Chain A
Amino acid sequence: MFPYLPHEDAISAPFWAATRERKLVIQYCSTCDQHQWYPRAICISCATENLTWREASGKGTVDSWTTVYRAPAEGFVPPYVIARVLLSEKVIMLTRLVGIESPACDQVVELSWQELSDGRALPVFG
């Protein structure tokens, strides 16, 4: 179980609510026809608030990765693999890779979930 429970706010609440149903949703700007990550109050291309939530395909590639050998805080149990995954929606998320023995840059990965203790979940990839 992950030891850190992220705070959420009015802007990010839809994202976290969707994780309870194991759905990865990302903000989409209909004016610019592009996604953005992380959730914000405005579109960083056109500065409007014309943002909706779209479910991501869950497919991506590993931009880069690192195996962490020391715990950043109490409750984390290394080693584990942190990665930047480029989603097919052309946004990069920080995440973990799970169940991959030898990760590699540019490797194709798919969405999976790790439960948080309050019923929400963290999107991870494998």
Chain B
Amino acid sequence: MKTPVIVGAAECDLGVTNKSILELQAQGVTRALADAGLKISDVDGIATNAISRFSASSLADYLGIEPKFTDSTFAGGSSFEMYVARAYHAVASGQCNVVVISFASNQRSAKSRSLGGVVEHHTPEAQFETAYGPLFPLSYYAMAAQRYIHDVPNGRAALSEIAISAREWALLNPKAYRYGSASLTDSELESADLISSPLRASDCCLVTDGGGAIIITNSEIAKNLKSKPVSILGFGESTTNTSMTTHRDLRVTGAKQSGDLAFAMAGVSRSDIDVVELYDSFTITTLLSLEGLGFAGKGEGADFILDGKTRPGGSFPLNTNGGGLSYCHPGQYGILLLIEAVRQLRGECGDRQVANAKLAVAHGTGGILSTNATVILGAN
């Protein structure tokens, strides 16, 4: 069995690009390959989605290659952490040698995002939920946040702290959408528009273009490349629901299963982790993931973060690029979690670099907390 490693990572253009999805995809892929020291002709595996119904075929054709492995698992923002697991097995078994995991969206330029989401009339959700008029996915996260605030003292303050912390990191990241802005103030947070209570605009991720790619190959090939390989130590995932009514407890997510599997595979403990990148589609997403992954007990996430430990310089560096809240959120943010984790482990993050980062967690969520996928990476 071969040992899969990550040898390249790069973003495509971010923010407002006025470029097509495939042009952005080509940017991300070629930049990640250049980072690795590989060529498009070396790629024999593709994992991507959200280009078209036939996303992997579209990208293969656009890049002019005929891969031996493709995957287009569609699990929203967690897809890319799932692709790491799929690519790991494909490279370990020798099915293919160089997999590119990529994503791009032009949703802000193309104004393609709808607050109601995509309604597929034949689904149970369309029959029994759509008619009531929830924002999708926002209102589900809002109900999770409402329950959290109802049950946990300081819940509202903790949600705000997630947003404040993300902004502080973004102020250190020149590529962040909010770079060059200012720290979030209490009055800004309290006066931000309510979108679906208790979530305000300041609790919600950005809507931007963006994306990027990472490259996975085996350690033999990696030996001859210029880049510093990053180890894939563990992964796990969980798929739980598409309906807003399936989960009895809105505060319990699939992060527990995905995290437990990933930590068991990696053989490391929570306290060993140096950098944590958790999907922040909404502030509540990050809080529930912190608890689900076991960094804090159920209902203890609020007190865990309220001392400011997740901010730059704190003891628990969280969402170090500024996150979906303040850096970039192109609809499916999962690829950018992986790119930041890789860069932190390679020590390339400039002002926001976490000193001596050896172990990182990237955790994606998709849909309405429908899917969770965790990846644990290690520096070499």
Contact = CB atoms under 8 A, between A and B. Distances in A.
B245 A70 contact: no
A73 B116 contact: yes
A64 B230 CA distance: 42
B197 A66 contact: yes
B280 to A, nearest CB: 19
A38 B127 contact: yes
Interface string A68-107: 1111110010101011100000011111100000001110
A6 B128 contact: yes
B310 interface: no
A84 B194 contact: no
B125 to A, nearest CB: 8
Interface stretch (B4-12, B20-28, B141-149, B320-328): B141-149
From B117, B130, B198, B246, residue with most partner A Cβ within 10 Å: B130
Interface in B105-130: 114-117, 119, 121-122, 124, 126-130
Contacts of B243: 38, 94
Interface in A1-56: 2, 4-9, 12, 37-40
Nearest to B142: A66
B133 interface: yes
B348 interface: no
Contacts of A96: 132-133
Interface in B144-177: 144, 146-147, 150-151
A84 B245 contact: yes
A7 B129 contact: no
B196 interface: yes
Chain A CB within 10 Å, residue with most, of B128, B136, B144: B128
Contacts of B116: 71-73
A35 B272 CA distance: 45
B130 A6 contact: yes
A94 B114 contact: no
Contacts of A65: 143, 146
A38 B122 contact: no
Q: Of residues A66, A68, A72, A106, which shows the largest number of chain B Cβ atoms within 10 Å of its Cβ?
A: A66
A4 B195 CA distance: 21
Contacts of A80: 133
A84 B143 contact: yes
Contacts of B119: 73
B285 interface: no
B133 A76 contact: yes
Given A64-B146, A66-B196, A84 B131 contact: no
B250 interface: yes
B61 interface: no
A84 B142 contact: no
A92 B243 CA distance: 10
B53 interface: no
A122 interface: yes
Nearest to B198: A66
B146 A68 contact: no
Nearest to B193: A69
A94 B197 contact: no
A63 interface: yes
B131 A82 contact: no
Interface in A108-126: 116, 122, 124
Contacts of B143: 63-66, 82-84
Given A72-B134, A84-B244, 12 more contacts: A2-B132, A6-B126, A38-B127, A63-B143, A66-B198, A71-B115, A71-B116, A72-B114, A82-B139, A83-B143, A96-B133, A105-B146
7 contacts: A4-B131, A37-B128, A63-B143, A71-B115, A82-B139, A94-B244, A122-B131
Which A-B residue pairs are the 3 nearest by beta carbons?
A: A72-B116, A66-B142, A64-B143
